Structure 1
Amino acid sequence: MTDPNGRGASLFARRSWGETSRISGILRKETVGGALLLLGAVLALIWSNSPWAEGYQSLRDLRVGPATLHLDLSLATWAADGLLAIFFFVAGLELKREFVAGDLRDPRRAAVPVAAAVGGVVVPALLFVLVAAGAGDGAARGWAIPTATDIAFALAVLAVVGRFLPSALRTFLLTLAVVDDLLAIVIIAVFYTSDLAVGPLVGALVPLAVFGLLVQRRVRSWWLLLPLAVVTWVLVHESGVHATVAGVLLAFTVPVVRSAAAGGPDAGPGLAEHFEHRIRPLSAGVAVPVFAFLSAGVTVGGLAGLVTALTDRVALGIVIGLIIGKPVGIMAATWLVSRFTRADLDEGLNWLDVLGLALLGGIGFTVSLLIGELAYGPGSERDDHVKVAVLTGSLLSALLATVILRARTRVYRRVHEAETIDRDQDGVPDIYEPRHGQASGN
């Protein structure tokens, strides 16, 4: 992040116009998904705290699927293991796209969001362990719950309160959340796999390899690819590794550019863009909201029940991890990168902007609820406390971020206006064109 003369480069500098346009499209889709996610969670909370709460629990526990394949699972499990595999497939596509053909193929650009994501995992995990220490046997198993950022939820809040946020900062939040998801799936695979069956896991490599071979040959036929993806998912599920890992593995086989020899975005889009365009609406509009609906329902029991849940040291550790640990970790890692690289914030930005985004990183919902179920068992009393804590911590993080980002709206508006002026009406804002020295995003 330094120029040839050794001076510090800009932190959160403007990206290329192509990358900015692509990210804007993703943000619009994820914003709609975030609204549906919130709706699903609210409906679940209302139903589970109504006189008809038993009906909600019966729906969650309804078992469907072939017993001969050990797939007679509850609807809640299908949502966590099956629907979230779609979510992680899309996240895997986005992650590969960023690092193979996006602006983050440059290690200097990648350093900031990657470091921020790592900091946003390490600090809340440490705070959780410190707070939850002494809460009883198995309490520490939930250390990863406050480490996750919910992409859809965070971007939905951003769309409401940070509409004029500079494009580079919006891209930073999206990339941070995607890397965060990768770290979460690694944590799930390594730390929340109890009984590993090597046979099915090795067997999953066969359909995975065939799927990879077909997509590398640009085969798009769903009747060929979908059965291979399903078989891969079933075998990973049987292995004891959480089935969502299959989604990431499948995504990593999909080519990002048309020609690997071309080695860059000039080669044209590969199948990753095609799949992402087709599957992201399914992920954001169906998979994640349905998971939220089937997972967020918890009987609070009024104010007394809320107090009881939040006085559990595990729940307290989650809330502290989300509203303090996540922003501290993200801010500290970003500041350290800027110090080591001698990079300054881009013109017009200050560290309050980064703090606002870091607080949005504390909105942990989808993956946090999933890890809570893996750590303490779905339907357990402690899992109920986890749900209350995740909802509370996420809501507080969103409110704190709103206060800061709203206070910076006037500055954002000026930057936004500069980024949208297009005097020659060629479809590309003037500030991104070569004569302005921004065409490359440097």
Structure 2
Amino acid sequence: MAAPQSRTFLARLPLPERNFVADALRTETAGGILLLVAALAALVMANTPLSDFYQDVRDFEFGPEALHLHLSVGSWATDGLLTIFFFVAGIELKRELVSGELRDPRAAALPVVAAACGMVVPAVFYAVVNLGGGGSLAGWAVPTATDIAFALAVLAVLGTSLPAALRAFLLTLAVVDDLFAILIIAVFFTTTIDFVALGLSVVGLALFWFLHRRGVRGWYVYVPLALVVWALMHASGVHATVAGVAMGLMLRCTVREGEERSPAERIEHLVRPLSAGLAVPLFALFAAGVVVSGEAIGDVFTTPEPLGVVLGLVLGKTVGVFGGSWLAARFTKAELNKDLAWADVLAVAALAGIGFTVALLIGELAFPDDPVLTDEVKAAVLVGSLIAAIVAGVLLKLRDRVYRRLFEEEERDEDQDGIPDIYELDNPEYHLRMAAILEEKAAEHRRLAEQAADGSTNRDGPA
């Protein structure tokens, strides 16, 4: 039996994949900055004389009671706005499965194993701390998720130009994380189910799929249908964000004759800015407002539940993602990109410990009857994410010179045709264009040298 063919881990991305990742991460980075601003605003309001106003707004309820939608502003942000976030996550997952890193099972093994280990190991850290300290195991899922927007915001603040392969690896980790997170929410945080409402929601999803497959277009068809599906899912007792993921997975990611872009790509291009720029920051505004004091910070490191969250994010994520990557590479015979080192994987693993949005959501779901413990767990998410960001920042800065060199090589476009030169090295036409450009530059240098020589002769010659 032939030995498995060696592959490259964190290899250079194909050009279409590289362009998609660049566009997606550009939007997520801008959204991440807004997310940081929203989180800071929430902390300021919760810890100043504005705290009463903040709590009144967050707890204000509105909506039709008959439809089970008489919710607080905070709940609307959690159950409503985050559905948009998970809708985009569903599209990302579908695209990864159809044309991205997850389409090839052998290639998908690395990021999937890394992401899975990056969720299991933090849960183990949390469980060990709480079993030993007499805490509750209900929050085991809190430190399992990675927040891609927050992580990219940290990269933007640090000014670190990660190579496309590392950014794509981080994005794929986050996509798989989101899938596992929504499964965790659906399976472990659904207590009672209204099967009638759930069945009607499934019927609505089937209608959504049928209309999409038949080529029906128009937001005026899908937006009302999506709202009905979401409301029925919410009424069923299953977390409403599941509806968002389901609809995202139903979108077609392949391009048909006469189309420039697939429906999934077109819709994602429209919805991603809404998710990154509005939905997630508003969720953070109403979820991150916890009281921060010396006593509260002390509780984070002395109470087993929040301590388990911090250790899960900082140590569990790092050990899980790095260890999973190394094991997957070892057993799939994948060789690390020669331009990178395992220290780079360690830095990305530490960056994956930034678990803001989904971690806050699961924290709210894990302790619904204990608001004090919920706030402590939220504070732990903030503290753990901050520590992970600092650790990752230090590791990334140590390799910043390497990253900048690789980034500049990826972006260089000497012939200015819109395609980075590194993707054209095997193209004969590229070498002809480069030879022409070099010849033109050489001719310009000769002309300038001749002009300089003539000027020198005229100055030194007889009057």
1:74-96 deviations in Å (ceiling 9; x for gaps): 00000000000000000110110
Determine the C-alpha separation between the residues in 2 that align with 1:209 and 1:112.
33
Match in the other structure for 2:166:
169
Match in the other structure for 2:264:
272
Identical counterparts, % of pairs: 52
Counterpart among 367, 376, 384 of residue 376 in structure 1: 367
**Number of corresponding residues:** 428
Determine the C-alpha separation between the residues in 1 that align with 2:411 and 2:149.
25
Runs of 4+ with deviation above 4 angstroms = 4-7, 134-137
Query: Which SS does the other structure have where 2:129 is aligned?
Result: helix
Q: Given that residues 83 and 243 in structure 2 are in contact (C-alpha distance below 8 angstroms), is that contact kept between their aligned partners in structure 1? A: yes
Q: Given that residues 354 and 388 in structure 2 are in contact (C-alpha distance below 8 angstroms), is that contact kept between their aligned partners in structure 1? A: yes
Q: TM-score, normalised by structure 1?
A: 0.93
Q: Given that residues 205 and 229 in structure 2 are in contact (C-alpha distance below 8 angstroms), is that contact kept between their aligned partners in structure 1? A: yes
Shift of 1:163: 3.4
Match in the other structure for 2:279:
287
Q: Given that residues 101 and 172 in structure 2 are in contact (C-alpha distance below 8 angstroms), is that contact kept between their aligned partners in structure 1? A: no
Determine the C-alpha separation between the residues in 2 that align with 1:277 and 1:58.
35
Determine the C-alpha separation between the residues in 1 that align with 2:50 and 2:134.
33
* Rg larger in structure: 2
Counterpart among 48, 51, 55 of residue 49 in structure 2: 51
Q: Given that residues 310 and 384 in structure 2 are in contact (C-alpha distance below 8 angstroms), is that contact kept between their aligned partners in structure 1? A: yes
Match in the other structure for 2:401:
410
Determine the C-alpha separation between the residues in 2 that align with 1:162 and 1:352.
19
Shift of 1:417: 2.2
Determine the C-alpha separation between the residues in 1 that align with 2:220 and 2:427.
48
Counterpart among 99, 102, 121 of residue 101 in structure 1: 99
Counterpart among 416, 430, 453 of residue 425 in structure 1: 416
Q: Given that residues 82 and 280 in structure 2 are in contact (C-alpha distance below 8 angstroms), is that contact kept between their aligned partners in structure 1? A: yes
Match in the other structure for 1:228:
225
Shift of 1:72: 0.5
Match in the other structure for 1:66:
64
Q: Which amino acid aligns with 1:253?
A: M
Task: Note if 1:219 corresponds to 2:220.
Answer: no
Determine the C-alpha separation between the residues in 2 that align with 1:290 and 1:168.
31
Task: Note if 1:356 corresponds to 2:351.
Answer: no
1:275-311 deviations in Å (ceiling 9; x for gaps): 10111011000000000000000112x2123212431
Shift of 1:229: 0.4
Q: Which amino acid aligns with 2:365?
A: L
Match in the other structure for 2:139:
142
Shift of 1:258: 3.1
Which runs of no fewer than 5 residues in structure 1 stay unpaired? Answer: none
Which runs of no fewer than 5 residues in structure 2 stay unpaired? Answer: 431-463
Determine the C-alpha separation between the residues in 1 that align with 2:370 and 2:412.
53
Q: Which amino acid aligns with 2:338?
A: E
Shift of 1:158: 2.2
Shift of 1:267: 7.9
The 5 A counterparts of 1:183-332 are 183-259=180-256, 269-300=261-292, 302-332=293-323
Determine the C-alpha separation between the residues in 2 that align with 1:91 and 1:312.
33
Q: Given that residues 258 and 270 in structure 1 are in contact (C-alpha distance below 8 angstroms), is that contact kept between their aligned partners in structure 2? A: yes
Determine the C-alpha separation between the residues in 2 that align with 1:308 and 1:340.
42
Shift of 1:211: 1.1
Determine the C-alpha separation between the residues in 2 that align with 1:429 and 1:317.
45
Match in the other structure for 2:156:
159
Q: TM-score, normalised by structure 2?
A: 0.89
Determine the C-alpha separation between the residues in 1 that align with 2:132 and 2:326.
33
Compared CA separation, residues 225 and 7, structure 1 to 2 (3 A): closer
Determine the C-alpha separation between the residues in 2 that align with 1:79 and 1:210.
26
Q: Given that residues 128 and 317 in structure 1 are in contact (C-alpha distance below 8 angstroms), is that contact kept between their aligned partners in structure 2? A: yes
1:51-106 deviations in Å (ceiling 9; x for gaps): 23111111110001111111100000000000000000001101101110224312
Task: Note if 1:337 corresponds to 2:319.
Answer: no
Shift of 1:436: 6.8
Q: Which amino acid aligns with 1:154?
A: A
